[in-house]
C-alpha cells in the first residue's frame, strides 16, 4: 500500500547502544525499509569510548531522551514503525501514547509506571545497580558474570562474554532506581507515566520465556494495563528466548515476527474497547 510505513525506528535499551541493532538493521533494510537507530542523548559514540568515559551516561535524563526520540520521529515525512527493546520498549509505549508512530513493537519491555510485578529473577538482575544507593548518581555496568545472568542466560558463558565485549556499556543508575524500583511508590506521576486509556497505534508485546531481567510476568502485566485503551494490543511469548533475543541464535525469526506484525497492523483501525 502506498501509505504503508517505509521507515522503522529501532530504540535500544539500557546497557546498550545502537550497535545492538546492527543485525536487525541489515535485515530490515534488505526488505526495502529505511532503518533509523537513534542513540539516547549521552549514549552517542562507540561502545569502547563510552566504557572509557561513562560520565555522559550518568548524566542522561529520561525526559530529554524521550523528547529527542520524538523529534527524530516527527521529522519523518510518514509515521514510522517503532520497535524498542527493554527500556526502549517503555520508551516506545510513551512515544505511541504521544500519538507518534504507525505501529509499535515492545520487545522484552521494561514497564512504564503502574506495573508492579517484580519477579525474583528481575530483582537479582537489577541488584548490581540497586545494591548501593550511591549508584543513583553513577553509571553502573554489569560484570560479564552479571550480564550472563541478566541478558544471555540461554547462551554459553563463552558466547555471553563475546556479546559483552562487543555491546555492553554502563547504564544511568538513577534510571534503574527512580524509574524501575521507585516509579510506583514515589508521590505523583513520574516521567515514565503513560495514560493506558489513550488511543494509539497498534502495539505488539514480545516476551521471552527465559528472560530474567524482564520476565514474561512483567510483560503480560504491562500488556494487560492497555486493556483500557481502544487501541489494538497483542502479546506473544517466545519459548526458550532470553533478554538477548534480538541477537541470540534465532534472532532472525524474532525480527521477522516483529516486522510482519507491524506491517500487517500499521494501517489497521483501533480495535473496539
Could you tell me the domains of the chain? 7-265 (3.40.50.1820)
Count the residues in the chain. Answer: 273
Phi first, then psi: give them for residue 172, nearest 5 degrees: -65, 120
* Pairing assessment for the beta strands 171-172 and 139-140 based on DSSP bridges: antiparallel
Q: Is 89 helix (H, G, I), strand (E, B) or coil?
A: helix
Residue 269: partners with Cβ closer than 8 Å, 6 or more residues away: none
Model confidence pLDDT, tens digit, residues 36-58: 999 999 999 899 999 999 999 99
Model confidence pLDDT, tens digit, residues 94-119: 999 999 999 999 999 999 887 877 87
pLDDT at 136: 75
Of the candidates 206, 237, 210, the one whose C-alpha atom is nearest the C-alpha of residue 154 is: 210
| Segments of the chain scoring below 50 in pLDDT | 1, 268-273
Q: Is 150 helix (H, G, I), strand (E, B) or coil?
A: helix
The answer to whether 238 touches 254, Cβ cutoff 8 Å, is yes
Torsion of CA 80, 81, 85, 87, to 10 degrees: 50
| CA-to-CA separations, 18 to 1, 10, 128, 210, in angstroms, rounded | 29, 8, 23, 24
Segments in the chain forming alpha helices (H):
22-29, 47-52, 55-58, 62-74, 87-97, 120-130, 144-150, 157-167, 173-176, 216-225, 251-265
pLDDT at 273: 29
pLDDT at 134: 75
Of the candidates 183, 171, 61, 62, the one whose C-alpha atom is nearest the C-alpha of residue 117 is: 183
**Separation between Cα atoms, residue 113 and residue 222, nearest integer Å:** 9
pLDDT at 183: 54
Give the three cell numbers for residue 34: 529505511
pTM: 0.92
pLDDT at 2: 57
Q: DSSP string spanning 222-235?
A: HHHHGGGSSS-EEE
The answer to whether 61 touches 84, Cβ cutoff 8 Å, is no
Residue 125: partners with Cβ closer than 8 Å, 6 or more residues away: 146, 149, 150, 212, 213
Give the three cell numbers for residue 86: 527493554
pLDDT at 176: 83
pLDDT at 132: 80
Amino acid at each position: 500500500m502506498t501509505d504503508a510505513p517505509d521507515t522503522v525506528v529501532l530504540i535500544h535499551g539500557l546497557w546498550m547502544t545502537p550497535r545492538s541493532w546492527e543485525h536487525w538493521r541489515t535485515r530490515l533494510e534488505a526488505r526495502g525499509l529505511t532503518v533509523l537507530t537513534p542513540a539516547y542523548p549521552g549514549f552517542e559514540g562507540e561502545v569502547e569510548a563510552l566504557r572509557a568515559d561513562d560520565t555522559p551516561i550518568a548524566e542522561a535524563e529520561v525526559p530529554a531522551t524521550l523528547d529527542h526520540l520524538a523529534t527524530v520521529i516527527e521529522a519523518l515525512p510518514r509515521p514510522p514503525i517503532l520497535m524498542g527493546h527493554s527500556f526502549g520498549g517503555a520508551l516506545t509505549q510513551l512515544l505511541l501514547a504521544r500519538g507518534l508512530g504507525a505501529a509499535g513493537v515492545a520487545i522484552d519491555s521494561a514497564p512504564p509506571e503502574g506495573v508492579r510485578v517484580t519477579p525474583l529473577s528481575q530483582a537479582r538482575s537489577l541488584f548490581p545497580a540497586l545494591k548501593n544507593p550511591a549508584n543513583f548518581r553513577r553509571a553502573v555496568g554489569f560484570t560479564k558474570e552479571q550480564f550472563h545472568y541478566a541478558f544471555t542466560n540461554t547462551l554459553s558463558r563463552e558466547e555471553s562474554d563475546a556479546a559483552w565485549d562487543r555491546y555492553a556499556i554502563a547504564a544511568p543508575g538513577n534510571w534503574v532506581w527512580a524509574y524501575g524500583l521507585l516509579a510506583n511508590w514515589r508521590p505523583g506521576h513520574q516521567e515514565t507515566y503513560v495514560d493506558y486509556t489513550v488511543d494509539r497505534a497498534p502495539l505488539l508485546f514480545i516476551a521471552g520465556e527465559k528472560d530474567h531481567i524482564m520476565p514474561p510476568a512483567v510483560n503480560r502485566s504491562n500488556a494487560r494495563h492497555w486493556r483500557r485503551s481502544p487501541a489494538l494490543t497483542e502479546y506473544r511469548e517466545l519459548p526458550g528466548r532470553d533478554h538477548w533475543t534480538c541477537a541470540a541464535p534465532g534472532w532472525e525469526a524474532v525480527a521477522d515476527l516483529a516486522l510482519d506484525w507491524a506491517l500487517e497492523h500499521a494501517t489497521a483501525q483501533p480495535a473496539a474497547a
